[in-house]
Amino acid sequence: MRNSLNTRVLHIPRRFVAEEWGGTETVLLEISRDQQRTGWQPEIFTSLALSKQRNETFAGIPVRRFPYCYPYFGLSAAAKLELDKKGGNLISPFLFTALLRAKDVRLFHVHTMARMGGHVRTAARLRGKPYVLSLHGGVYNAPPAELATMLRPTQGKFEWGKFLGALLGARRMLPDADYIICVGQAELDETSKKISHDRIAYLPNGVDPVKFAHGDGAAFRRQHGIPASAFLVLNISRIDVQKNQFTLLEAFARLHSRHPDSFLALMGPETSADYADRLRKYIRDHNLDTAVKLLPGVRTDSPNLVNAYHACDVFALPSLHEPFGIVVLEAWSARKPVIASQVGGLRTFIKSGETGLFFDPTASDAVEKLAGQLEALMAQPLLRERLGEAGLKEVHAAYTWSVIGQKLELIYQAAERHVFDRRGKK
């Protein structure tokens, strides 16, 4: 039975800013909105990373941000910014204090690991509250190259926060969690091998199909100088090595050499400046300046996001590592065909040849294979239509936020039972 006094659900991500939006932020916002509709009081507690605004209400959800730091000596401002954008292992005593003092809390739902996750673990234990941990990818199955990129800003710097991490039990987050959620099947398989308990479940991400059902693709094309008759390939993701836009760019160059009426739009925040510069250099060197649009990311509440999907003919996601791939659900909701890497969570929910096309991004012929798939879809509008319609049916069958929210509520109840049983054994 619901305790009428304890209705607050506190979501804790590493950061949450509209200008640096990604899949994790979308999940946080949408599950919070679903919880709000069902009578709970979700709030987001996070750090001030990439933001100066301590308190705001975003799409009806309260957001509180707290001062933080990275426990390393000698970090430059550029290194700190790089950590803010991707993977920084921060500490925030102010956040920890707020978690300890927050009233009427039902449970904590943490969306990050390391020291910040340790803050949540310790606060939950001290207060006798359950905490649910969502793994959004990268704990056990992230490629070594991606991990090296995340650690680069701290190389050669003295780390003074190790003792604090140990004190907070950061490495105990998984075994001590009252429930663990994996957004991808591959992450679930790996995590299940590493932990001794069975309080773990696969819960995919969702989408609001109504939001993406209608958009002004023509307006998007006019805004960016893309002819109405052109064949447009779209990628929406962080500009980062992990997202592997370079392979897509190379494949597109081959397509464009045979079909000058083709265009490519790469849209997303830059989390790796060096990688973005590499893309720009390739575009210049291959005279693709007019055919390739490297566009900044947009807020989730911007109509340009929906318009971009409706402007394209094909959506491509060539990631080297992808825990889930929520943008695929968004593309399907706009009835668009998808080409994706056969990696991570993408392998679980895309049905090859039915709801999308796969290629192996690590294969020696990856560029040729992707270019061939783009050309095949360009030549077959009926195939594009069939794949897009099949994807939309999949969305309505299994991936609406109401469906995901009902499953999440059952996980919360299981976490609460675990805390109750643990108390009974003392």
Q: Is the pLDDT of residue 3 over 60?
A: no
Can you tell me the distance from the alpha carbon of 314 to that of 35, in angstroms, rounded to the nearest whole number?
Answer: 33
Q: How far out from the chain centre does Cα 2 lie?
A: 31
- pTM here is 0.88
Task: Say yes or no to pLDDT of 144 above 80.
Answer: no
Show me where the domains of the chain are located: 8-206+400-424, 209-398
pLDDT of 363 over the 80 cut: yes
Angle separating helix axes 401-424 and 23-37, nearest 10 degrees: 80
Query: How crowded is the C-beta side of 398, counted as CA atoms within 13 Å?
Result: 11
Question: 209-398: same fold as 8-206+400-424?
Answer: yes
Higher pLDDT, 233 or 424: 233
Instruction: Indicate the pLDDT class of residue 137, thresholds 50, 70 and 90.
Output: confident
What mean pLDDT is predicted for residues 195-219? 95
In this predicted structure, the answer to whether residue 2 has a pLDDT above a threshold of 60 is no
Q: Is the pLDDT of residue 340 over 80?
A: yes
Residues 277-300 pLDDT 10s: 999 999 999 999 999 999 999 888
Q: Which residues of 162-192 are buried (b: 16+ CB within 10 A; e: fewer)?
A: eeebeebbbeebbebbbbbbbbbbbbbeebe
Residue-wise pLDDT for 292-334, tens only, equals 999 999 888 899 999 999 999 999 999 998 989 999 999 999 9
CATH superfamily, domain at 209-398: Glycogen Phosphorylase B; (3.40.50.2000)
**Structure confidence by residue, pLDDT tens digits, 45-89:** 999 999 999 999 999 999 999 999 999 999 999 999 999 988 789
pLDDT at 155: 84
Mean residue pLDDT of the chain comes to 93
State which amino acid sits at residue 346.
L
For residue 205, report the phi and psi dihedrals to the nearest 5 degrees: -75, 170
Query: Is the pLDDT at 123 greater than 50, yes or no?
Result: yes
Could you tell me the fold of the domain covering 8-206+400-424? Rossmann fold (3.40.50)
Q: What was the pLDDT predicted at 154?
A: 85
What is residue 1's predicted lDDT score, i.e. its pLDDT?
Answer: 42
230-251 pLDDT per residue, tens: 999 999 999 999 999 999 999 9
What tokens appear for 52 in the block? Answer: 């100066």
Q: What is the pLDDT of residue 158?
A: 86
The pLDDT of residue 426 is: 57
User: Among the listed ranges 6-15, 53-62, 188-197, 392-401, which one has the minimum average pLDDT value?
Assistant: 188-197
